[in-house]
């Protein structure tokens, strides 16, 4: 049986650490206004895991509830880490850039491209959706 490599990540200062028990799925760049403003970046690359497949190893994760969504960040330095809708049956999204090695998790799609900044170029091979992809 092949053992999967550890998938871990954390915040900028290193106090918050987390582990994914499985590789993230639904890898995509979100260009929505909420993600742009919450991250201070032109888009955020997300990946999804079941809630039970995310383990907080150390540090304090703080949450902000806004517009029926929950954004989680490192309480020590403010690094954006997770996003979810608060529904126990839905997966939680992880900021791919907060992984120790995000290299294997390239985005497969772009969502909310109707909100995309005009100077952000979409890769021609990437599926894009004007709003959510429905998954």
Could you say which DSSP state residue 99 is in? B
Helix (H, G, I), strand (E, B) or coil at 42: coil
Domain that holds residue 67: 8-117
Q: Is residue 99 part of a domain?
A: yes
Res 12: pLDDT: 97
Domain-located, residue 112:
yes
Give the CA distances from residue 82 to residues 1, 10, 52, in Å, rounded to whole numbers and listed in that order.
31, 11, 14
> What CATH number corresponds to the domain at position 113?
2.170.150.70
Instruction: At 103, give phi and psi (nearest 5°).
Output: -50, -45
pTM over 0.75: yes
Give the model's pLDDT for residue 2: 58
Q: Flag whether 31 is in a domain.
A: yes
The tally of domains found in the chain comes to 1
Phi then psi for residue 96, to 5 deg, are -60, -35
Q: Which pLDDT does position 134 carry in this prediction? A: 61
Low-confidence ranges of the chain (pLDDT < 70): 1-4, 133-135
Q: Is residue 75 part of a domain?
A: yes
């Amino acid at each position: 049986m092949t053992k999967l490599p550890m998938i871990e990540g954390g915040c900028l200062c290193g106090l918050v650490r987390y582990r994914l028990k499985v590789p993230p799925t639904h890898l995509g760049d979100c260009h929505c206004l909420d993600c742009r403003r919450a991250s201070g970046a032109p888009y955020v690359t997300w990946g999804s895991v079941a809630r039970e497949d995310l383990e907080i190893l150390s540090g304090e994760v703080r949450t902000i509830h806004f517009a029926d969504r929950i954004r989680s960040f490192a309480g020590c330095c403010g690094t954006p880490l997770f996003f979810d809708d608060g529904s126990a049956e839905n997966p939680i999204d992880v900021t791919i850039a907060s992984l120790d090695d995000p290299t294997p998790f390239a985005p497969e799609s772009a969502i909310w491209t109707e909100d995309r900044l005009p100077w952000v170029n979409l890769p021609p091979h990437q599926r894009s959706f004007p709003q959510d992809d429905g998954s």
